[in-house]
Amino acid sequence: MKAFKIFFLLLLLPFFFFSGSLAFPLCTDSSAPLNLKSPLTFCSYNGSSCCNSTDDTLIQDQFKLMSINDSACALVVKSILCSKCNPYSAELFSDQPKIQTVPVLCSTTNSEIDFCGQVWDTCSNTSIDNSPFAPSLQQSKAITGSSSKITDFWQSKSDFCKAFGTSSSNDSVCFDGNSASFNTTPSSPNPKGLCIEKIGNGSYLNLVPHPDGSNRVFLSNQEGKIWLATVPDQESGGTLELDESNPFLDLTDEVHYDTEFGLLGLAFHPNFTTNGRFFVSFNCDRSQSSNCSGTCACNSGIGCDPSKLPSDNGAKPCQYQSVIAEYSVNTSSTMPSMENNAIPKEVRRIFTMGLPFTSHHAGQILFGPEDGYLYFMMGDGGGEGDPYNFAQNKKSLLGKILRLDINNIPSSAEINKLGLWGSYSIPGDNPSVDDSALQPEIWALGFRNPWRCSFDSARSSYFFCGDVGQDKYEEVDLISKGGNYGWRAYEGPNLYQPKSSPGGNTSINSINAIFPVMGYTHSSVNTAIGSASITGGYVYRSMVDPCMHGKYLYADLYTGGLWAGLESPESSGNYTSIEIPFNCGKNSPIPCDEIGGNSVPTLNLIFSFGEDNRKDVFLLASNGVYRVVRPSRCNYECSKEKNSSSAFEPVPSPPSSSAHQLKVMFLIGFFFILVSSCFNFQF
């Protein structure tokens, strides 16, 4: 009987450990496609599209101005122009940063369909006014109404398809004349397990790589301290090097620390190495600090009366606040990246908002890798089932991802006029441009408690967030501009019915909910030791574990489960996730804590993940810092693992101040010599 039970459980494992997903289409402006009520008149797209009727008319006008006399070529060019309406247009145009008029065309080097060759054969000798096939430099100088042939710009089909087609080394999606075509090249094999080593004993919430590109990272704990640490090389046997007694910045006097309060986010300005600016997200207590004085998130502007909110664990409504503050290293320093300590005085209060309850504050902050804006993750404010429906209220900032411009600071008069929550401005392309009902800070909505988000370092349009569930489902979302992720109309892919709703309900027919691409049910994990709660991670881009490369790693805070999400086909947004075992590598610099007397390590609580400058991934647990290492150290088989030392080349440590300054002076001198030589050379 026992053997039968074991056999039956083995049969059920795939249902517990694998979960399919819907695709992740994305438009060129980072928004999700529209669900059309009727087909587009000119481009004929139906169902899901990145164009509305106005866009369709503009494309039609553009096509008419081309005055194409050949009917076969006209059909080809029309399909190319209309590819802007394709639900995967962000991927179709992502590999053409200089030639944005034409998507990536499928060719024989990477597709069964040689659409690029067909375009050449059909249109190469046809005159086209305002041709979209001109090189970008010529396009910028083109005269409106000028006519040209493709052969005027490109000497051969080969040259043409090098510019507009796919290449054998390119795995991105391509346009086949009708729709998006995805690469079917098999990805790396599924990992047999995740091998980790322990390199630190501290408990941290954030690990952020130093912007100078070195092997240093910033670590912060929930209590309010930030340290500068050096990460040892792979295979070196070293541990994290940091001075516990000398933090980079100590904010423990400012930070209110409790179970779901503390220093929650840390982000360094993209130009930190020259301006020394960085930002901290934390909670404060209004009853303890006069500087903790933001407007309550429950206010008349969203139809909420804070006097009617029940107290939560003895706390008054909005006694605790969410804060983003700007700090700096020594402002007189000409080399900010060389400073080992920050000025403990706040430079500017960027954002302050009172919290209605004592949970679901999220609090992570990130700079967008392409746009340079600050993204701020904000939970629904707490209370079982988001009773006041803050996450779906477009005028509330709770249950949202915010996007702020911290470089262009408005005046106090402008801040008051716009009703902003602090010292920042609104990016001009935020979703409120298209949806005036949205608060201007909002980038995406419908979250319960987005706990740890990240941009894929190889594909910056892929923005992942783990969002904590209520009773049944923990989800991973791919974030798009203006996207609504459903809470609390939905919990994951399932309809959700709150126990109480003094703030009203949201009709599922009134929202276009985007469902998670990955996740797991509470019934599929061991919740005996505590409730399930997702911890979002990273797309693994290091080659230390080649079988993990390209897969999204995430975990459960309480149960210690680890998952790897695989996208298949590449760039399609279709994900399948598998729960993976993990173990402690041989010769771990610090012995891993084990469950009982066996060799399986226990991480206790998995608070967060981190990624350094060499793209190694770290697990930040309550009992230490762990790093992903090569699978063979745990006897996990990976056919792609290479034993060459190139996979473990060290990232150089930062030079000393004087040495670095000499190096800079030498490079500047060399640059002037080179420029002088160039100007004296006669062409």
One domain for residues 291 and 386: yes
Bridge partner list, 277: 328
Split at pLDDT 50, 70, 90, the class of 339 is very high
In a domain, 678, yes or no: no
Higher local confidence (pLDDT), 435 or 96 = 435
In a domain, 376, yes or no: yes
| Alpha-carbon separation of residue 398 from 388, 457, 465, 492, 596 (angstroms) | 10, 28, 16, 18, 42
In a domain, 581, yes or no: yes
The pLDDT value recorded for residue 334 is 79
CATH of the domain at 275: 2.120.10.30
Residue 164 clears pLDDT 60, i.e. is over it: yes
Residue 547 clears pLDDT 70, i.e. is over it: yes
Residue 678 clears pLDDT 90, i.e. is over it: no
One domain for residues 539 and 576: yes
Instruction: Point out the domain boundary residue: 181, 214, 246.
Output: 181
CA distance 554 to 566: 12
In a domain, 673, yes or no: no
Split at pLDDT 50, 70, 90, the class of 93 is confident
CA distance 683 to 16: 69
One domain for residues 589 and 443: yes
Total number of domains in the chain: 2
The pLDDT value recorded for residue 12 is 35
Mean pLDDT of 546-553: 95
The pLDDT value recorded for residue 146 is 74
CA distance 40 to 176: 20
133-137, 351-355, 542-546: the lowest-pLDDT one: 133-137
The pLDDT value recorded for residue 4 is 38
pLDDT digits (tens, 9 = 90+) for 257-313: 999 999 999 999 999 999 999 999 999 999 999 889 999 999 999 999 999 998 888
**Half-sphere exposure for 488 (CA within 13 Å, toward CB):** 28
Split at pLDDT 50, 70, 90, the class of 331 is low
In a domain, 95, yes or no: yes
In a domain, 373, yes or no: yes
pLDDT digits (tens, 9 = 90+) for 65-74: 999 999 999 9
Mean pLDDT of 40-46: 95
Residue 148 clears pLDDT 50, i.e. is over it: yes
Q: What is the DSSP letter of 310?
A: P
Read off the tokens for 39.
Answer: 């087909």
pLDDT digits (tens, 9 = 90+) for 11-30: 333 333 344 444 578 998 99
CA angle at residue 119 from 113 to 124, to 5 degrees? 150
One domain for residues 167 and 221: no
Bridge partner list, 208: 218
One domain for residues 90 and 173: yes
Residue 149 clears pLDDT 60, i.e. is over it: yes
Higher local confidence (pLDDT), 404 or 180 = 404
Instruction: Point out the domain boundary residue: 127, 147, 181.
Output: 181
Residue 438 clears pLDDT 60, i.e. is over it: yes
One domain for residues 177 and 198: no
Length of the chain equals 683
Split at pLDDT 50, 70, 90, the class of 647 is low
One domain for residues 174 and 105: yes
In a domain, 633, yes or no: yes
Are 98 and 140 in contact by the 8 Å Cβ rule? The answer is no
Work out the mean pLDDT of the chain and round it to a whole number: 87
The pLDDT value recorded for residue 98 is 47
One domain for residues 270 and 395: yes
The pLDDT value recorded for residue 572 is 79
One domain for residues 166 and 199: no
Mean pLDDT of 364-368: 98
Place of tokens 């902050």: 365
One domain for residues 540 and 404: yes
Residue 467 clears pLDDT 50, i.e. is over it: yes
Domain that holds residue 459: 194-644
Are 460 and 467 in contact by the 8 Å Cβ rule? The answer is no
Instruction: Point out the domain boundary residue: 181, 204, 232.
Output: 181
One domain for residues 148 and 249: no
Mean pLDDT of 390-396: 97
Residue 660 clears pLDDT 60, i.e. is over it: no
One domain for residues 167 and 222: no
In a domain, 683, yes or no: no
Split at pLDDT 50, 70, 90, the class of 171 is low
175-184, 214-223, 356-365, 513-522: the lowest-pLDDT one: 175-184
